[in-house]
Structure 1
Amino acid sequence: MDYISFIRSKVGQDKIFLNFSVGILADDEGRILCQKRSDVIGTWSLLGGCWELGESSVDALKREFMEESGIEIEPIKLLNVYTNYEEHYPNGDVAQTVGFLYQVRAVKAFDIEDFSNDETLELAFFSQEELEQLEIISPQQKLMIEEYFAQGFEMGH
């Protein structure tokens, strides 16, 4: 049983803390990789996800990135930690999310053209201007993207 299912079996839909690792992978043009989500239709997000028990933030990031894109990555820099966001999920669950944002690079060449699975409907690289036109999954991720392009990371979010 994964961590979220395990903890939800104990507390139901009450608010809990959930820890996430998120990665920004940029291409040679400075665009960043995002996934079109299957759980919240019409939204895009950075790649990453919730930690499992016993997993480090880096291990969770590598696992989630591979699951969501098929890309093997390694983190090269911790950019910021975001702690003060409340998320309401489509199934009624509520969580205060703690998000660790990393800059990552691909370990080897990859192809995203036809990638899709249960979590990811589509993958694409976007410029800052293009991302401003998309529906991003959460205010926390919007801020992550804004701070990345501004190259200014404020503590205390």
Structure 2
Amino acid sequence: MTQDYISYIRSKVGHDKVLLAFAGGILADQEGCVLLQLRGDKKTWAVPGGAMELGESSKETAEREFFEETGIKVEAIRLLNIYSHFDEVYPNGDQVQTLVVIYEMRALEEVDIIGFQNEETLKLSFFSEEAIAKEVTISDKHRLMLTEYFADSFALGH
């Protein structure tokens, strides 16, 4: 397959609701603040991650997507949770129920986020738990992931 999986599926079903698998990761600094990206499509803060391609594992997806969206090489060191009950509508009208596998990440190199930007990421920043609680531009799904991460308590059945 020469095109990405989402483009392939969308060529078949248009904007109709589909189930898609995603994976991402949470990377914390020495002070316990977590790295979030300001997304280019929705203009909201989010945990870095993205869609799984055919033939990829969720771990491979999380590591690849994290690098694509942050420029930081990481490795997944712990499975945190799987979130499967959230629906989304993207700005282009695509409807999806997401299945998201989230890992805790460890940086494989020095972390430098100054000036990183691309089509998917407008900005990167580290946030404390308190700052995230006050941030209004985080989706319910990402807020739940971060709440569970800071509590180090992960409920089954999301």
1:117-136 counterparts in 2 under 5 A? 117-136=118-137
TM-score (normalizing by structure 1): 0.96
Deviation at 1:16, TM superposition (A): 0.6
- Structure 2 counterpart of 1:55: 56
Partner Cα separation in structure 1 for residue 126 and residue 65 of structure 2: 18
SS in 2 for 1:14: coil
SS in 2 for 1:83: strand
Which amino acid is 1:100 matched to? Answer: V
- Structure 1 counterpart of 2:72: 71
Partner Cα separation in structure 1 for residue 60 and residue 136 of structure 2: 28
1:21-36 counterparts in 2 under 5 A? 21-36=23-38
Deviation at 1:14, TM superposition (A): 0.9
Deviation at 1:89, TM superposition (A): 1.0
Higher mean C-alpha displacement, 129-138 vs 141-150: 129-138
Which deviations, in whole Å up to 9, do the C-alpha atoms of 1:10-51 show, x marking residues without a partner? Answer: 01111111111110000000000000111112x100101010
Partner Cα separation in structure 1 for residue 8 and residue 139 of structure 2: 24
Partner Cα separation in structure 2 for residue 50 and residue 29 of structure 1: 29
TM-score (normalizing by structure 2): 0.95
Q: Quick one: structure 1 residues 92 and 137, their matched pair in 2 at CA, closer, same or farther if it must change by over 3 Å?
A: farther
Report the aligned-residue RMSD.
Answer: 1.0
| 4+ residue runs over 3 A deviation | none
Partner Cα separation in structure 2 for residue 137 and residue 2 of structure 1: 27
Q: Does 2:14 match 1:12?
A: yes
Unaligned runs of 5+ in 1: none
Check whether the contact 2:24–2:63 (CA below 8 A) recurs between aligned residues. Answer: no
Partner Cα separation in structure 2 for residue 10 and residue 137 of structure 1: 31
Partner Cα separation in structure 2 for residue 118 and residue 14 of structure 1: 24
Unaligned runs of 5+ in 2: none
Q: Percent identity?
A: 53
Matched pairs, number: 156
